[in-house]
Structure 1
């Protein structure tokens, strides 16, 4: 017997899918800028990259405001409660059909490992990408304020490291969405807002 839980609000779903589309656009255009593929020429890739970056910054400003005004920021506070059980589930239980040891509620949407991963994105990957990206974009205006060792090449390298960290997160995130009671259960929940509980 299954029950339905309304887990994701309309804004959360809009934010999630818009953010995903913009991050994929940034990765695609960024790798074109680096010459990793020729599906976009350099000039167009730079324009697409900058437009997508400003759209994502705008989206994140709204998301930060929404998280703080609704109290949803509490979803990202790390906890060690049951972290061992959740880690064992992902290391072994998931492959032998064991039930997930964490029960999702509207107040606690993320298990302990998700909380740590999302906090890592919020506190490490995002700042690395945004600070390096803005430094790269406005370096000529900040020339006198930056240390001598922080040249354009170092800024670009930091930005690329951030991009690869984001790509790694994206791949793992997409893989883990397929680990529900059906391969598309988590994706359906993020589209409709409703999660099926079995």
Structure 2
């Protein structure tokens, strides 16, 4: 394996990431207002902004899902048992002792086993839960059919809130982990420029040099 600086995040993936981050921030802020946690903005505008941000994010996710499956990038999010315990131990203990991470990022496997499992759970359980309940809540007037509807609406609301708080916890953990290891700036830079230092097999390196040399950059000299 050879370390090279490779463009691992194409423009669409970076645009999708930052658009999603902005919209989720808006949804968290307005959602907390709708739930009565704060009163920084009026209730009515908060509901309207929350709804517009949610629908926009839904469109973004539709395009992102299409891109993931047409490019084969969806395979990056398949969890693997191998290395799971070592990665969990690193985040629970080793990272505080200055140990080297047990998983090195590769071009065809950007996420470590714990990250892949987390994203898999979010994309296949939490996100569908928040979308289905959000749409049900938004269309309540169309399916309201009597006394039982109030109970169903309460269940829908609670599932929606639970999923939202799981996403909120993920965002907090995600931001915290960006401050570990090499530091916040080094973790964020690849999602801005698209380039990151990763390990390449000789076959991968030869392929990039022959077919897409623009995706390779020379290693920066050590300070």
TM-score by length of 2: 0.82
What residue in structure 2 maps to residue 159 of structure 1?
160
Q: CA deviation at 1:149?
A: 7.5
What residue in structure 1 maps to residue 17 of structure 2?
16
Q: CA deviation at 1:150?
A: 4.6
What residue in structure 2 maps to residue 195 of structure 1?
196
Structure 1's consecutive aligned runs of 4 or more residues displaced over 4 angstroms after TM superposition are 147-150
TM-score by length of 1: 0.92
User: In the alignment, is residue 134 of structure 1 matched against residue 110 of structure 2?
Assistant: no
Mapping 1:101-140, distance limit 5 Å: 101-140=102-141
Instruction: Determine if contact 1:185/1:196 at 8 Å carries over to the other structure.
Output: no
> Matched residues in 1 for 2:24 and 2:169: separation?
12
Q: CA deviation at 1:44?
A: 0.4
Instruction: Determine if contact 2:68/2:74 at 8 Å carries over to the other structure.
Output: yes
> Matched residues in 2 for 1:5 and 1:168: separation?
31
User: In the alignment, is residue 26 of structure 1 matched against residue 3 of structure 2?
Assistant: no
- Pairwise CA RMSD of aligned residues? 2.2
Aligned residues: 198
> Matched residues in 2 for 1:149 and 1:29: separation?
23
> Matched residues in 2 for 1:70 and 1:13: separation?
15
Q: CA deviation at 1:5?
A: 2.5
What residue in structure 1 maps to residue 216 of structure 2?
none
**Secondary structure class of the residue paired with 2:105:** coil
Greater radius of gyration (CA): 2
Structure with higher RCO (Cα < 8 A, 6+ apart): 2
Instruction: Determine if contact 1:6/1:106 at 8 Å carries over to the other structure.
Output: no
Mapping 1:1-198, distance limit 5 Å: 3-144=4-145, 150-196=151-197
What do residues 50-85 of structure 1 show as CA deviations (whole Å, max 9, x unaligned)?
100010000000000000000001011110111122
- The range that moved more, 157-166 or 109-118, is 157-166
**Secondary structure class of the residue paired with 1:108:** coil
- The range that moved more, 162-171 or 2-11, is 2-11
> Matched residues in 2 for 1:149 and 1:48: separation?
25
